[in-house]
Amino acid sequence: MSLQNWKNSGSYYSYKNYKIFYREEGVEVPLILVHGFPTSSWDWNKIWDALIKKYRVYAIDMLGYGFSSKPTDFKYTIASQVDLWETFLKEKGITSFHILAHDYGDTVVQEMLARSKENPEYDFKIESVCFLNGGMFPETNFPTLTQRMLLTPFGTILKHFMGRNTLAKNFKKIFGQDTQASEQEIDDFWETIDYNSGKNVIPKLIKYLKERDTYKIRWREAIQYTDVPKRLIDGGMDPISGKHMAEFYKEIVPNADVVILDTIGHYPQTEAPEEVLYHYEEFRKQL
């Protein structure tokens, strides 16, 4: 499916007077897909058709991402993105679901798990979680130079110099050596980022990296001390959250279920979609 067809096949709902893009398709058991930074729900396009044959799949472009609204006066936080998801799920009448998440989305899910852990009356039942590469633990997260610069006061200036080539250079470093993004994929990724003046909110979005430090104990314990079945599928070649993060996950998460894809980088669902699907289905069959 082309990016344009992906957009045309989606819908919008209103959240605090903002337009939120989403896609919904498939059968039976709800599965929500939570995308990463700085991209969008389009990240899931290579595994979408396979997933909708078995699950009722929901994916949204979180606020500030993809084809959703990108207000410059909004205070972007992980909690605000969870609020957005909760509103969406309530509108759809979904109270029980499985999750597949990546990157920034992992941290969004950590906040969901924390809320569930802390509140016995939580409105939602998380049936299972499968994480892909993400900086869930600040101790093992190594942001790119561009990401670190965006966190500084220079971020508001740097955003003006960001473009498709900046993204290509950064993605070249974080994808596996033999699974590099194609020129078309880079074009598509950049289109979702740049859509609706997206560069203007990137310095605001990336402040989630500071939140990971602020809430690191709460969000770590949300993974460690929960009965929700979990699996981590990790691209081991990823310099941001690759094998080093997976090994740390094994150390601190009781009975850790971890699959390392040795030659894959930061975007397993793009670089090795068949492997991700295989290991995800294997996980679900165990439940």
Residue 284: which region, alpha, beta or left (left: phi > 0; alpha: psi -120 to 50)?
alpha
Report the percent of the chain where pLDDT is more than 90: 88
Question: Which of 150, 163, 193 lies closest to 61 in space, CA to CA?
Answer: 193
| Mean of pLDDT values over 56-61 | 98
Backbone angles phi, psi at 223, to 5 degrees: -90, -40
Question: What sign results for the dihedral spanned by CA atoms 7, 13, 17, 21?
Answer: negative
> Domain boundaries in the chain?
3-285
pTM of this structure? 0.95
Superfamily of the domain at 3-285:
Alpha/Beta hydrolase fold, catalytic domain (3.40.50.1820)
Q: How far apart are CA 234 and CA 266, in angstroms?
A: 8
Is the separation of the CB atoms in 163 and 170 below 8 Å? no
pLDDT for residue 149: 72
If you ran DSSP here, which 8-state letter would residue 27 be given? S
Q: How far apart are CA 181 and CA 168, in angstroms?
A: 8
pLDDT digit string, tens, across residues 12-39: 999 999 999 999 999 989 999 999 999 9
pLDDT for residue 155: 61
Q: How far apart are CA 36 and CA 29, in angstroms?
A: 23
pLDDT digit string, tens, across residues 186-205: 999 999 999 999 989 988 99
Question: What sign results for the dihedral spanned by CA atoms 254, 259, 265, 270?
Answer: negative
Helix boundaries (H) for 93-163 = 104-118, 145-150, 155-158
Q: How far apart are CA 235 and CA 98, in angstroms?
A: 21
pLDDT digit string, tens, across residues 123-173: 999 999 999 999 999 888 777 777 777 767 666 766 666 789 999 999 999
Mean pLDDT for the chain overall: 94
